[in-house]
């Protein structure tokens, strides 16, 4: 059967319908039908908001406060051995503010009153009074730290001082009142060196805290021993908890201490010495002037976060330096009697 005859057979059976040409009357009828349909749609009720289980509520979730943030240090001349290039603070409270984060950074850096700590996020400065959540700080966000120099106010009060030394890391000492004297400061400092609360922040934001920790100084440079002690530098500062301090004081073997960055070092009692200071054995000065025991700190001009210089006899002083610092020995006097005459 040819294709032409096959198509004629389909038309005869009604399977193929020929299209009719469009006419003006047909277009008018179609337009009237569409108008009726449009009126029906407009008469319907307004579209209701999505229910609670809609995809819009599943995707647009409320922001959550950050539990951990990273703070990048600026390119400064600070010693690499005492500060990490990036701080990581974890376990933050839900209502933590930018000021709380600045206080954590101050405890690690301890800048002077002329230096302010400022935090930035994507180039914008953060307000210390606002919460991290209100500043759109997400979990694991990276902030940038800036140290800004300014002129400190003379009305900043006196509740904390910094004590610096060439042999020890800078300490922050709390001042109870403006009536404190030089002796009060010495007693608080000596007590703090013997039993202080110290906190380290690990690379993943975990906090390591020691309570009543004592301060040690290494007596000599030591190489690392496999299965034994760790490598030490002469004069290196270490922090030890009360349990390990008891091991060292009683010479009971190897103990574990922590360096300034928090890493653990294994030491023996012959490698280190405790910094057990007494008020009578130390000297404090401010702007080149000695702080006498009876002098009041406020009257000397000391204000919030000012630096006090500490001087003491370090147990790790090298022998040549000890010789240079020792008083000159008096020469024995010669006999005033003349020489004996020869017989």
What does the alpha-carbon distance between residue 216 and residue 230 come to, in Å, rounded to a whole number?
Answer: 15
* CATH number of the domain that residue 91 is part of: 3.10.20.90
> Residue 86: which domain range?
68-149
**18-22, 40-44, 301-305, 310-314: which has the minimum mean pLDDT?**
40-44
Contact 118, 125 (CB under 8 A): yes
> Could you give the 3-state DSSP secondary structure of residue 83?
coil
Query: Helix and strand tally (H, E) in the chain?
Result: 7, 16
> Does residue 250 fall inside a structural domain?
no
Give the least confident one: 23-37, 122-136, 272-286, 288-302: 23-37
Report, in this order, helix, strand and coil percent for the chain, each rounded to 5: 20, 25, 50
- Whether 332 maps to a domain, the answer reads no
8 A C-beta contact, residue 249 and residue 242? no
Query: What's the rounded mean pLDDT across residues 272-283?
Result: 95
Q: Please, are residues 265 and 236 in contact by the beta-carbon 8 Å criterion?
A: no
Per the structure block, which two tokens stand in for 121? 């996020």
Specify if 88 maps to a domain: yes
Return the pLDDT at 173.
96
Pair 128, 102: CB distance under 8 Å: yes
DSSP state of 67: S
Q: Is residue 342 scored above 70 in pLDDT?
A: no
> Of 217, 243, 245, whose CA–CA distance to 232 is shortest?
217
Are 272 and 234 contacting, i.e. CB atoms less than 8 angstroms apart? no
Asked, for residue 333, whether it belongs to a domain, the answer is no
Asked whether residue 165 is assigned to any structural domain, the reply reads no
What mean pLDDT, rounded, does the chain reach? 84
Tally the domains of the chain.
1
Please check whether residue 114 lies inside any domain of the structure: yes
Q: How much is the pLDDT for 181?
A: 97
Query: Which structure tokens are listed for 115?
Result: 């230096």
End-to-end CA distance of the chain: 169
pLDDT in tens, 41-69: 554 555 555 555 555 545 556 788 999 99
Enter the tokens of residue 176. 């109870």
Q: Which residues pair with 90 in a beta bridge?
A: 68
Nearest to 238 by CA among 290, 294, 281, 198: 198
Residue 146 has pLDDT above 50, yes or no: yes
**Strand pairing report for 115-121 and 141-149:** antiparallel
Residue at 118 is within a domain: yes
> Quick one: which H or E segment has residue 196?
strand 196-201
Residues 288, 300 contacting (CB under 8 angstroms): no
In the numeric block, which tokens belong to residue 332? 């024995």
Least confident of 43-52, 88-97, 110-119, 235-244: 43-52
**Predicted pLDDT of residue 139:** 93
SS3 state at 247 = helix
| CB of 89 closer than 8 Å to CB of 68 | yes
Query: DSSP assignment, residue 279?
Result: G
**Within a domain: residue 92?**
yes
Q: Is the pLDDT of residue 260 over 80?
A: yes
In the structure, what pLDDT confidence band is assigned to residue 22 with cuts at 50, 70 and 90?
A: low
140 Cβ partners below 8 Å, 6+ apart?
Answer: 66, 68, 69, 70
Give the mean pLDDT of 87-94. 94
- What pLDDT is stored for residue 80 in this prediction? 45
**Contact present, 328 and 298 (Cβ < 8 Å):** no
């Amino acid at each position: 059967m040819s294709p032409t005859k096959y198509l004629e057979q389909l038309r005869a059976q009604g399977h193929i319908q020929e299209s009719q040409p469009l006419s003006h009357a047909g277009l008018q009828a179609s337009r009237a039908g569409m108008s009726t349909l449009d009126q029906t749609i407009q008469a319907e009720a307004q579209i209701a908001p999505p229910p609670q289980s809609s995809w819009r509520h599943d995707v647009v979730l409320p922001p959550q406060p950050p539990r951990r943030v990273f703070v990048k240090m600026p390119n400064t001349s600070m010693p690499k051995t005492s500060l990490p290039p990036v701080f990581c603070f974890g376990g933050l409270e839900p209502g933590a503010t930018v000021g709380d984060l600045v206080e954590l950074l101050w405890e690690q850096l301890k800048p002077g009153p002329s230096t302010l700590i400022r935090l930035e996020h994507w180039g914008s400065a953060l307000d210390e009074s606002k919460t991290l959540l209100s500043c759109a700080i997400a979990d694991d966000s990276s902030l940038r730290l800036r140290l800004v120099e300014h002129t400190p106010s003379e009305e900043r009060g006196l509740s904390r001082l910094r004590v610096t030394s060439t042999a020890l890391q800078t300490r922050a000492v709390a001042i109870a009142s403006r009536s404190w004297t030089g002796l009060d400061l010495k007693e608080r400092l000596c007590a703090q060196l013997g039993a202080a609360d110290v906190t380290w922040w690990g690379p993943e934001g975990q906090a390591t805290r020691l309570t009543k920790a004592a301060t040690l100084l290494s007596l000599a440079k030591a190489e690392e021993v496999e299965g034994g002690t760790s490598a030490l530098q002469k004069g290196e500062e270490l922090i030890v908890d009360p349990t390990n301090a008891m091991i060292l004081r009683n010479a009971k073997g190897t103990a574990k201490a922590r360096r300034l960055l928090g890493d653990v070092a294994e030491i023996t009692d012959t490698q280190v010495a405790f910094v057990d200071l007494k008020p009578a054995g130390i000297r404090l000065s401010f702007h080149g002037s000695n702080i006498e025991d009876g002098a009041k700190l406020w009257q000397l001009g000391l204000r919030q976060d000012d630096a006090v210089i500490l001087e003491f006899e370090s147990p790790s002083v090298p022998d040549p330096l000890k010789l240079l610092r020792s008083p000159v020995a008096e020469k024995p006097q010669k006999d005033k009697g003349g020489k004996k005459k020869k017989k």
